[in-house]
Protein backbone atom coordinates (compact mmCIF):
# COMPACT_ATOMS: atom_id res chain seq x y z
CA UNK A 1 0.00 0.00 0.00
CA UNK A 2 1.32 3.39 -1.00
CA UNK A 3 0.46 6.38 1.19
CA UNK A 4 1.21 10.03 0.38
CA UNK A 5 0.74 13.40 2.04
CA UNK A 6 0.85 16.74 0.28
CA UNK A 7 0.19 20.34 1.25
CA UNK A 8 -1.18 21.20 -2.15
CA UNK A 9 -1.82 24.95 -1.60
CA UNK A 10 -5.23 24.98 -3.30
CA UNK A 11 -6.61 21.84 -4.85
CA UNK A 12 -8.60 23.87 -7.36
CA UNK A 13 -5.50 25.45 -8.84
CA UNK A 14 -3.52 22.20 -8.72
CA UNK A 15 -5.91 19.40 -9.56
CA UNK A 16 -4.12 18.55 -12.82
CA UNK A 17 -0.89 18.07 -10.90
CA UNK A 18 -2.61 15.99 -8.23
CA UNK A 19 -4.17 13.68 -10.80
CA UNK A 20 -0.85 13.30 -12.64
CA UNK A 21 0.87 12.63 -9.30
CA UNK A 22 -1.46 9.81 -8.22
CA UNK A 23 -1.22 8.28 -11.69
CA UNK A 24 2.57 8.50 -11.87
CA UNK A 25 3.18 6.95 -8.46
CA UNK A 26 0.09 4.75 -8.20
CA UNK A 27 -0.88 6.29 -4.88
CA UNK A 28 -3.44 4.35 -2.84
CA UNK A 29 -4.11 6.89 -0.11
CA UNK A 30 -3.46 10.62 -0.48
CA UNK A 31 -3.80 13.07 2.40
CA UNK A 32 -4.06 16.68 1.31
CA UNK A 33 -3.65 19.92 3.24
CA UNK A 34 -4.45 23.53 2.37
CA UNK A 35 -7.08 22.46 -0.10
CA UNK A 36 -8.41 26.03 0.17
CA UNK A 37 -12.03 25.49 -0.56
CA UNK A 38 -15.29 24.09 0.68
CA UNK A 39 -15.80 20.43 -0.23
CA UNK A 40 -18.47 21.45 -2.76
CA UNK A 41 -15.91 23.67 -4.50
CA UNK A 42 -13.27 21.00 -4.92
CA UNK A 43 -12.83 19.44 -8.38
CA UNK A 44 -12.93 15.80 -7.35
CA UNK A 45 -14.46 14.20 -10.43
CA UNK A 46 -11.10 13.28 -11.91
CA UNK A 47 -10.06 11.54 -8.71
CA UNK A 48 -13.39 9.77 -8.33
CA UNK A 49 -13.09 8.59 -11.94
CA UNK A 50 -9.79 7.00 -10.93
CA UNK A 51 -11.50 5.01 -8.21
CA UNK A 52 -10.77 7.22 -5.22
CA UNK A 53 -13.26 7.89 -2.47
CA UNK A 54 -12.78 11.35 -1.04
CA UNK A 55 -13.52 12.91 2.33
CA UNK A 56 -12.89 16.64 2.56
CA UNK A 57 -13.13 19.43 5.10
CA UNK A 58 -12.67 23.10 4.53
CA UNK A 59 -14.46 26.29 5.30
CA UNK A 60 -12.21 29.24 4.59
CA UNK A 61 -9.40 30.49 2.42
CA UNK A 62 -6.48 28.47 3.70
CA UNK A 63 -7.45 25.70 6.10
CA UNK A 64 -8.83 22.60 4.51
CA UNK A 65 -7.79 18.96 4.50
CA UNK A 66 -8.86 15.89 2.56
CA UNK A 67 -8.21 12.17 2.26
CA UNK A 68 -8.45 10.36 -1.07
CA UNK A 69 -8.38 6.58 -0.92
CA UNK A 70 -8.84 3.77 -3.41
CA UNK A 71 -8.49 1.09 -0.71
CA UNK A 72 -11.54 2.04 1.34
CA UNK A 73 -12.51 5.07 3.37
CA UNK A 74 -14.21 4.18 6.63
CA UNK A 75 -14.79 5.67 10.08
CA UNK A 76 -14.30 9.23 8.84
CA UNK A 77 -13.68 11.57 11.76
CA UNK A 78 -13.68 15.35 11.62
CA UNK A 79 -11.24 16.72 14.17
CA UNK A 80 -10.25 15.09 17.44
CA UNK A 81 -11.44 15.21 21.00
CA UNK A 82 -10.79 18.55 22.64
CA UNK A 83 -9.52 20.15 19.44
CA UNK A 84 -9.30 23.82 20.37
CA UNK A 85 -10.78 26.61 18.33
CA UNK A 86 -9.40 30.05 17.71
CA UNK A 87 -12.20 32.56 17.69
CA UNK A 88 -13.74 31.26 14.51
CA UNK A 89 -16.16 28.54 15.63
CA UNK A 90 -15.97 26.65 12.34
CA UNK A 91 -12.33 26.91 11.30
CA UNK A 92 -10.84 24.35 13.72
CA UNK A 93 -12.64 21.39 12.21
CA UNK A 94 -10.91 21.97 8.91
CA UNK A 95 -7.46 21.19 10.31
CA UNK A 96 -7.73 17.46 10.92
CA UNK A 97 -9.49 14.62 9.18
CA UNK A 98 -9.17 10.96 10.05
CA UNK A 99 -10.26 7.81 8.25
CA UNK A 100 -9.46 4.13 8.10
CA UNK A 101 -8.10 3.28 4.64
CA UNK A 102 -7.22 -0.30 3.86
CA UNK A 103 -6.93 -1.08 7.55
CA UNK A 104 -4.69 1.90 8.33
CA UNK A 105 -5.93 4.82 10.39
CA UNK A 106 -4.78 7.92 8.54
CA UNK A 107 -4.97 11.45 9.90
CA UNK A 108 -4.51 14.35 7.49
CA UNK A 109 -3.24 17.18 9.68
CA UNK A 110 -2.73 20.84 9.07
CA UNK A 111 -1.01 21.98 12.24
CA UNK A 112 -1.63 25.69 12.97
CA UNK A 113 1.16 27.88 11.60
CA UNK A 114 1.65 29.94 14.76
CA UNK A 115 2.51 33.11 12.83
CA UNK A 116 4.89 34.80 15.33
CA UNK A 117 6.23 33.67 18.69
CA UNK A 118 4.44 36.56 20.42
CA UNK A 119 1.17 35.90 18.59
CA UNK A 120 -1.84 34.23 20.26
CA UNK A 121 -1.83 31.82 17.31
CA UNK A 122 1.49 30.47 18.59
CA UNK A 123 -0.13 29.51 21.90
CA UNK A 124 -3.03 28.03 19.96
CA UNK A 125 -0.59 25.91 17.96
CA UNK A 126 0.93 24.41 21.10
CA UNK A 127 -2.48 23.77 22.66
CA UNK A 128 -3.69 22.16 19.44
CA UNK A 129 -0.68 19.83 19.40
CA UNK A 130 -1.14 18.91 23.05
CA UNK A 131 -4.77 17.99 22.40
CA UNK A 132 -3.87 16.01 19.30
CA UNK A 133 -1.29 14.10 21.32
CA UNK A 134 -3.92 13.15 23.89
CA UNK A 135 -6.20 11.70 21.24
CA UNK A 136 -3.34 10.09 19.33
CA UNK A 137 -2.45 7.98 22.34
CA UNK A 138 -5.50 5.84 21.68
CA UNK A 139 -4.35 5.08 18.11
CA UNK A 140 -0.82 3.97 19.03
CA UNK A 141 -1.90 0.36 19.33
CA UNK A 142 -3.19 0.13 15.76
CA UNK A 143 -1.68 0.67 12.32
CA UNK A 144 -1.94 4.44 12.29
CA UNK A 145 -0.24 7.41 10.63
CA UNK A 146 -0.27 11.07 11.58
CA UNK A 147 0.54 12.78 8.29
CA UNK A 148 0.64 16.29 6.98
CA UNK A 149 2.05 19.75 7.44
CA UNK A 150 3.31 19.96 11.01
CA UNK A 151 4.73 23.47 10.66
CA UNK A 152 7.67 22.38 12.84
CA UNK A 153 11.27 21.70 11.82
CA UNK A 154 12.56 19.32 14.52
CA UNK A 155 16.29 19.58 13.75
CA UNK A 156 18.56 22.52 12.99
CA UNK A 157 19.47 20.75 9.77
CA UNK A 158 15.80 20.76 8.79
CA UNK A 159 16.06 24.45 7.82
CA UNK A 160 18.39 25.99 5.29
CA UNK A 161 19.98 28.40 7.76
CA UNK A 162 19.14 28.00 11.43
CA UNK A 163 20.60 31.43 12.22
CA UNK A 164 18.01 33.03 9.94
CA UNK A 165 15.25 31.48 12.07
CA UNK A 166 16.44 32.88 15.39
CA UNK A 167 13.24 34.86 15.97
CA UNK A 168 10.85 32.66 14.05
CA UNK A 169 8.30 29.98 14.75
CA UNK A 170 8.74 26.39 13.53
CA UNK A 171 12.09 25.92 15.31
CA UNK A 172 11.42 27.14 18.87
CA UNK A 173 12.10 24.75 21.76
CA UNK A 174 8.42 24.52 22.77
CA UNK A 175 7.39 23.56 19.22
CA UNK A 176 10.17 21.01 18.98
CA UNK A 177 9.26 19.66 22.41
CA UNK A 178 5.67 19.28 21.24
CA UNK A 179 6.85 17.31 18.20
CA UNK A 180 9.27 15.20 20.21
CA UNK A 181 6.54 14.34 22.69
CA UNK A 182 4.85 12.35 19.93
CA UNK A 183 8.13 10.57 19.24
CA UNK A 184 8.57 9.78 22.91
CA UNK A 185 5.06 8.33 22.94
CA UNK A 186 6.06 5.88 20.22
CA UNK A 187 5.25 7.72 16.98
CA UNK A 188 8.20 7.70 14.61
CA UNK A 189 9.23 9.65 11.54
CA UNK A 190 9.14 6.82 9.02
CA UNK A 191 10.56 8.89 6.15
CA UNK A 192 13.84 10.24 7.50
CA UNK A 193 15.57 6.82 7.69
CA UNK A 194 15.09 6.54 3.93
CA UNK A 195 16.59 9.94 3.07
CA UNK A 196 20.14 11.22 2.82
CA UNK A 197 20.87 13.56 5.74
CA UNK A 198 21.62 16.47 3.42
CA UNK A 199 18.37 16.21 1.44
CA UNK A 200 15.40 16.23 3.80
CA UNK A 201 13.40 19.31 2.85
CA UNK A 202 9.71 19.15 1.98
CA UNK A 203 8.93 22.87 1.65
CA UNK A 204 10.53 25.76 -0.18
CA UNK A 205 9.08 29.24 0.11
CA UNK A 206 7.90 30.87 -3.11
CA UNK A 207 10.05 33.92 -2.33
CA UNK A 208 13.48 34.56 -3.71
CA UNK A 209 13.86 31.38 -5.74
CA UNK A 210 14.22 29.31 -2.62
CA UNK A 211 13.67 26.03 -4.49
CA UNK A 212 16.22 26.83 -7.14
CA UNK A 213 18.75 27.62 -4.40
CA UNK A 214 17.60 24.65 -2.25
CA UNK A 215 16.83 26.85 0.72
CA UNK A 216 14.00 24.80 2.18
CA UNK A 217 12.57 23.34 5.35
CA UNK A 218 11.46 19.93 6.55
CA UNK A 219 7.98 20.46 8.00
CA UNK A 220 5.87 17.71 6.41
CA UNK A 221 5.92 14.38 8.19
CA UNK A 222 4.53 10.90 8.28
CA UNK A 223 4.59 9.72 11.88
CA UNK A 224 3.78 6.05 12.21
CA UNK A 225 2.57 3.99 15.14
CA UNK A 226 4.97 1.18 16.09
CA UNK A 227 3.13 -1.48 14.11
CA UNK A 228 2.82 0.77 11.07
CA UNK A 229 6.48 1.78 11.24
CA UNK A 230 7.47 -1.88 11.05
CA UNK A 231 5.57 -2.17 7.75
CA UNK A 232 7.42 0.70 6.02
CA UNK A 233 9.51 -0.61 3.15
CA UNK A 234 10.47 2.70 1.56
CA UNK A 235 9.79 6.45 1.46
CA UNK A 236 10.71 9.51 -0.54
CA UNK A 237 9.96 13.18 -1.13
CA UNK A 238 8.90 13.88 -4.70
CA UNK A 239 10.80 17.10 -5.27
CA UNK A 240 9.85 17.17 -8.94
CA UNK A 241 6.38 18.29 -7.83
CA UNK A 242 7.92 21.43 -6.31
CA UNK A 243 9.97 22.17 -9.44
CA UNK A 244 8.47 25.00 -11.51
CA UNK A 245 10.23 23.51 -14.52
CA UNK A 246 8.31 20.23 -14.20
CA UNK A 247 4.66 19.57 -14.93
CA UNK A 248 1.97 22.04 -15.88
CA UNK A 249 1.08 25.25 -14.09
CA UNK A 250 2.70 26.59 -10.94
CA UNK A 251 3.73 24.12 -8.24
CA UNK A 252 2.67 24.04 -4.61
CA UNK A 253 5.30 25.37 -2.23
CA UNK A 254 5.36 21.89 -0.62
CA UNK A 255 6.50 18.62 -2.17
CA UNK A 256 4.52 15.42 -1.56
CA UNK A 257 5.89 12.75 0.76
CA UNK A 258 5.36 9.11 -0.23
CA UNK A 259 5.56 6.04 2.01
CA UNK A 260 5.33 2.38 1.02
CA UNK A 261 3.83 -0.15 3.41
CA UNK A 262 4.35 -3.89 3.14
Partner DNA sequence: ATGGTCGCGATGCGA
Catalytically active residues, by annotation: 110, 149, 254
Cβ nearer to DNA, comparing 10 with 227 = 10
Binding site annotation covers 260? no
Cβ nearer to DNA, comparing 208 with 213 = 208
Q: Which residues pair with 68 in a beta bridge?
A: 30, 54
Determine phi and psi for 103, rounding to 5 degrees.
Answer: 85, -5
Binding site annotation covers 48? no
Cβ nearer to DNA, comparing 139 with 179 = 179
Q: How far is the CB of 37 from DNA (least distance, A)?
A: 6
Q: How far is the CB of 54 from DNA (least distance, A)?
A: 17
Closest CA to 38 of 51, 57, 16: 57
Binding site for DNA (CB under 7 A): 9-10, 12-14, 36-37, 61-62, 112-113, 115, 121, 151, 206-208, 244, 249-250
Q: How far is the CB of 12 from DNA (least distance, A)?
A: 4
**DSSP letters spanning 128-144:** HHHHHHHHHGGGTTSSE
Determine phi and psi for 190, rounding to 5 degrees.
Answer: -85, 0
Binding site annotation covers 78? no
> CA separation (Å) from 175 to 136, 192, 202?
17, 19, 18
Binding site annotation covers 75? no
Cβ nearer to DNA, comparing 114 with 224 = 114
Q: How far is the CB of 66 from DNA (least distance, A)?
A: 13
Contact of 134 with 82, CB cutoff 8 Å: yes
Q: How far is the CB of 35 from DNA (least distance, A)?
A: 8
Cβ nearer to DNA, comparing 37 with 224 = 37
> CA separation (Å) from 172 to 133, 139, 153, 165?
18, 27, 9, 9
Binding site annotation covers 254? yes
Binding site annotation covers 253? yes
Q: List the binding residues for Mg(2+).
A: 7, 34, 149, 151, 253-254
Q: List the binding residues.
A: 7, 34, 149, 151, 253-254
Amino acid sequence: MRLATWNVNSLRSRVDRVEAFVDRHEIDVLALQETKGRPDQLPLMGLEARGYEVAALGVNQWNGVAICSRVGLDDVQEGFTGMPGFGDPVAPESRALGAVCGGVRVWSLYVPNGRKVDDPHYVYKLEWLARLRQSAGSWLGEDAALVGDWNIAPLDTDVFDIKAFAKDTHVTPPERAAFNAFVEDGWSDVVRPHQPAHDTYTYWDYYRQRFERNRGMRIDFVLGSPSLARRVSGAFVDKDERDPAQGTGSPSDHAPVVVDLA
